[in-house]
Amino acid sequence: MSELLSVQSSKAVNKEAGREKLKPHTVSPRLAVPAHIMRPPYVDTGKNPFYDEVQVHDAESLVKMRAACKLAAQVLEYAGTLVQPGVTTDAIDKAVHQMIIDNGAYPSPLTYGNFPKSVCTSVNECICHGIPDSRGLANGDIINIDVTVYLNGYHGDTSRMFFVGSVSDSARRLCETTKQCLDAAIMQCGPGVPVSRIGQVIHEMGERAKLGVVPNFVGHGVGWHFHSAPVINHVRNREPGVMVPGLTFTIEPMLVEGTTRSKTWRDDWTVVTADGKLAAQYEHTILITKGGHEVLTVA
């Protein structure tokens, strides 16, 4: 019965772009994680903690952090190879989940604040936190896959856009500009740089490209905690805070074609643009070094 309903609802046409409006589909049952794999402390508590302390690594901690980030990047690369028309986001989740546990890691999103799956899949007008479900990818879709893994006590967090079949010029431009914003922000990072520089750079680039930058979802410190200070605004801001060597955090700008206002679905996670226009996001975990910065989430 629910499948019948979802077929009918997926026929609803989004007047904005002639593509189907994104609707919730069926979420499959929870996947198991082998008992020997180390779980982060929030698992099965329903909590989504955000810690007020920044995370600065010493040499020993950095070794483990690099390993977690490298795995996250490898998983993301693999996930991208699965993106084809007709493939469901649930199938991508299953495959990503398997690769993560095969590598002895825990998929960080799973049960964080009751998130039901192991990866976030955000299609078209979904800004972030999309839940993998039975919706098949359609030609012309753009999808963000956001991978976070917890390996030996450390989280590595990265995401990027993938195209399904052939996408429109405006969708391509949106994604390319978002990537450029991330890269430009990363270039600015180094010891002594104010954290607010990131938002300044991204916001200005977005404005020049006549694209909106989503203000209320932010990058964050990452390491032994999934989410912590510093808060990385992607829009112009006056947050205090200066980068120091050993600091690790994510930069994850979300750019939109239309309004930056968003709506959250009843599943309490999926965030979509209020006007149904496209959204794109790219994310890396960055380390501040004595001489500058290093992108950790590279395969």
Partner 1 sequence: MKRVLVAVKRVVDYNARIRVKADKSGIDVANVKMSMNPFCEIALEEAVRLKEKKLTEEVVAVTIGVKAAQDQLRTALAMGADRGIHVLTDAELEPLAVARLLAALAQRDEPALFLLGKQAIDGDNNHTGQMLAGLLGWPQATFASKVETDPVAGTATVTREVDGGLQTLRLRLPAVVTSDLRLNEPRYATLPNIMKAKRKPIEQLSPEALGMDVPKRLEILRVEEPPKRKGGVRVASVAELVDRLHNEAKVL
Binding-site residue numbers for substrate are 129, 227
Angle at 154 between CA 157 and CA 49, to 5 degrees: 75
- CB 82 → partner 1: shortest distance, Å? 28
Stretch that binds partner 1, among 10-18, 154-162, 175-183, 237-245 (CB under 8 A): 237-245
Question: Binding of partner 1 at residue 235 (CB under 8 A)?
Answer: yes
Number of chain residues interacting with partner 1 (CB under 8 A): 15
Tell me which residue of 228, 191, 216 sits closest to 273, measured CA to CA.
216
Q: Select 36 or 238, whichever has its Cβ closest to partner 1.
A: 238
Coil, strand or helix: which one is 170?
helix
Question: Binding of partner 1 at residue 30 (CB under 8 A)?
Answer: no
- CB 231 → partner 1: shortest distance, Å? 6
Annotated binding site: 129, 146, 157, 220, 227, 252, 283
Of positions 87, 184, 209, 231, contacts partner 1 by CB under 8 A: 231
Question: Binding of partner 1 at residue 14 (CB under 8 A)?
Answer: no
Question: Binding of partner 1 at residue 227 (CB under 8 A)?
Answer: yes
Q: Select 92 or 127, whichever has its Cβ closest to partner 1.
A: 127
255-294 residues in contact with partner 1 (CB under 8 A) are 261
Specify whether the CB–CB gap between 245 and 290 falls below 8 A. yes
Angle at 167 between CA 165 and CA 169, to 5 degrees: 155
- CB 261 → partner 1: shortest distance, Å? 8
Q: Is the peptide bond before 230 cis (omega within 30 degrees of 0)?
A: yes
- Contact map string, positions 52 to 71, toward partner 1, x by CB under 8 A: --------------------
Tell me which residue of 226, 282, 24 sits closest to 131, measured CA to CA.
24
How far apart, in whole angstroms, are the C-alpha atoms of residue 199 and residue 63? 29
29-to-21, 94, 114, 117, 251 alpha-carbon distances in Å: 25, 11, 13, 9, 31
Residue whose tokens read 């609707």: 23
Tell me which residue of 217, 212, 219 sits closest to 260, measured CA to CA.
212
Amino acid at 193: V
Stretch that binds partner 1, among 114-122, 178-186, 210-218, 247-255 (CB under 8 A): 210-218
Tokens representing residue 230 in the block = 């510093």
Amino acid at 214: V
Sign of CA pseudo-dihedral 36, 37, 42, 43: negative
Q: Select 91 or 231, whichever has its Cβ closest to partner 1.
A: 231
Question: Binding of partner 1 at residue 218 (CB under 8 A)?
Answer: yes
Stretch that binds partner 1, among 86-94, 171-179, 229-237, 242-250 (CB under 8 A): 229-237
Question: Binding of partner 1 at residue 144 (CB under 8 A)?
Answer: no
- Contact map string, positions 100 to 129, toward partner 1, x by CB under 8 A: ------------------------------
Specify whether the CB–CB gap between 22 and 126 falls below 8 A. yes
How far apart, in whole angstroms, are the C-alpha atoms of residue 30 and residue 93? 11
Question: Binding of partner 1 at residue 220 (CB under 8 A)?
Answer: yes
Mention every residue, 6+ apart, whose C-beta is less than 8 A from residue 187: none
Q: Which residues form the interface with partner 1 (CB under 8 A)?
A: 48, 50, 215-218, 220, 227, 231, 233, 235, 237-238, 240, 261
